[in-house]
Amino acid sequence: MKRLFSISRPEFIPANLGSLIIGLAWGFDTTSGFSYSLLLMATLSLLVIITVSLIGAQINTLSDFELDSTDPRKREITQNLRELGPKNAKIAILFELLLSADLVSLLTFMRGQYIQLPIYVSALILTLAYSAPPLCLKGRSILSMISLCLALSVLPAIFIYLTFTNEFSMLFILFLIGQTLTVYSLIIPTETRDYFVDKAMRLKTMAVWLGLSRATLLAIVLLAVGATLSISAFLMTPVFKQNPLLMLAPLTMVGADLYIFRAYFKLYNLAKRHEVEEGDAEGLIGEEVVELSSNNPKWITVTTQAIIFVNLIYFAGKILL
């Protein structure tokens, strides 16, 4: 179980909790109130997106085994997969697939609607198409970006959101666009971290396609635009407009984003220097790029916690005010 947990990239699981809080905060209707059945459906929805997320991570680990075997930073993951065995990993994936299908069936039965079923099926298709041949979308630049945005942000948040309501709010859509841009900006450093290995293996990720400096610049722009849209959506809701003190809550998102911006600008400057240096200096700067980009899980955690906090304030405001 420890080996299976390792190859499932547990550092990304907190993002699923973020999807739950987002769906709850934006989708919950205070006029209908809480019920045990609603709590059970929310739990089922969370378990579904966690299970699908685990499947996607495990398929990615299996598909990238040979590539990751050359990367010393992923030695623990590849070693755990080697000891677990690809066959056992595939058995685990099949079990998780059946489990998620059962959970979705139960959720559909409880809700009496099929509205979440196509989202679930789409997410499963993406988890397979992203890493596994013949499509292997992760190596197809823009298609990689689109598939990641859908799988990591759009589909999970909407799946949870539809547990509580069948109607889409324009402010929720605005927030989700901002959230999605923010999420992808945080994914880019994982590609800059693997840039040199991916480039050597001719894997055309967005970072390889754009180049280090332009990819990092894209991350900066996406984070700025994403934060602006997300915070604007909060501030335009009746809860925040009618309670000026609550407008202080989004400052936590501003603080988290400023922390990430500082790291991103340092990464951008390193990328620019790498483009002009030659020989040993180029290699040393490349190592700095990889080392700094490896802080990505920490950046994801910081940003996710800030977003969860503001969504909790929004949810509490809807109930109490």
The identity of residue 32, as a single letter, is S
Question: Into how many domains does the chain fold?
Answer: 2
Q: Which domain holds residue 259?
A: 169-321
- The answer on 34 and 122 residing in a single domain is yes
- The answer on 306 and 194 residing in a single domain is yes
Q: Which of 137, 152, 167 is the last residue of a domain?
A: 167
- Categorize the per-residue pLDDT at 127 as very low, low, confident or very high, splitting at 50, 70 and 90: confident
Bigger pLDDT: 78 vs 160: 160
- The answer on 259 and 195 residing in a single domain is yes
Q: What angle do CA 271, 274, 279 make, to 5 degrees?
A: 165
d(C-alpha 247, C-alpha 234), whole Å:
8
What per-residue confidence (pLDDT) applies to 3? Answer: 83
What per-residue confidence (pLDDT) applies to 68? Answer: 67
- Categorize the per-residue pLDDT at 136 as very low, low, confident or very high, splitting at 50, 70 and 90: confident
Q: Which of 1-10, 112-121, 229-238, 294-303 has the lowest mean pLDDT?
A: 1-10
What per-residue confidence (pLDDT) applies to 48? Answer: 93
Q: Which of 167, 202, 233 is the last residue of a domain?
A: 167
Dmax (CA) for the chain in angstroms is 66
What per-residue confidence (pLDDT) applies to 2? Answer: 82
d(C-alpha 138, C-alpha 144), whole Å:
5
- Categorize the per-residue pLDDT at 281 as very low, low, confident or very high, splitting at 50, 70 and 90: low
Peptide bond into 14 cis (omega under 30): no
- The answer on 270 and 128 residing in a single domain is no
Q: Across residues 200-226, what is the average pLDDT? A: 90
- The answer on 125 and 4 residing in a single domain is yes
- The answer on 129 and 247 residing in a single domain is no
Output phi, psi for 168, to 5 deg.
-95, 130
What per-residue confidence (pLDDT) applies to 268? Answer: 95
The identity of residue 164, as a single letter, is F
Instruction: Return the CATH number at 121.
Output: 1.10.357.140
- The answer on 292 and 174 residing in a single domain is yes
- The answer on 187 and 249 residing in a single domain is yes
Predicted confidence (pLDDT) at residue 280 exceeds the cutoff of 60: no
What's the token pair of residue 102?
Answer: 């059962």
Output phi, psi for 228, to 5 deg.
-60, -45
- The answer on 248 and 299 residing in a single domain is yes
Q: Which of 140, 167, 194 is the last residue of a domain?
A: 167
Q: Which of 46-60, 197-211, 253-267 has the lowest mean pLDDT?
A: 197-211
d(C-alpha 128, C-alpha 55), whole Å:
9
Average pLDDT of the residues of the chain: 87
Query: Are residues 71 and 197 in contact, defined by beta-carbon separation less than 8 angstroms?
Result: yes
List strand residue ranges (DSSP E) for the chain, in order: none
What per-residue confidence (pLDDT) applies to 44? Answer: 92
Predicted confidence (pLDDT) at residue 171 exceeds the cutoff of 70: yes
- The answer on 212 and 156 residing in a single domain is no
- The answer on 117 and 42 residing in a single domain is yes
- The answer on 159 and 295 residing in a single domain is no
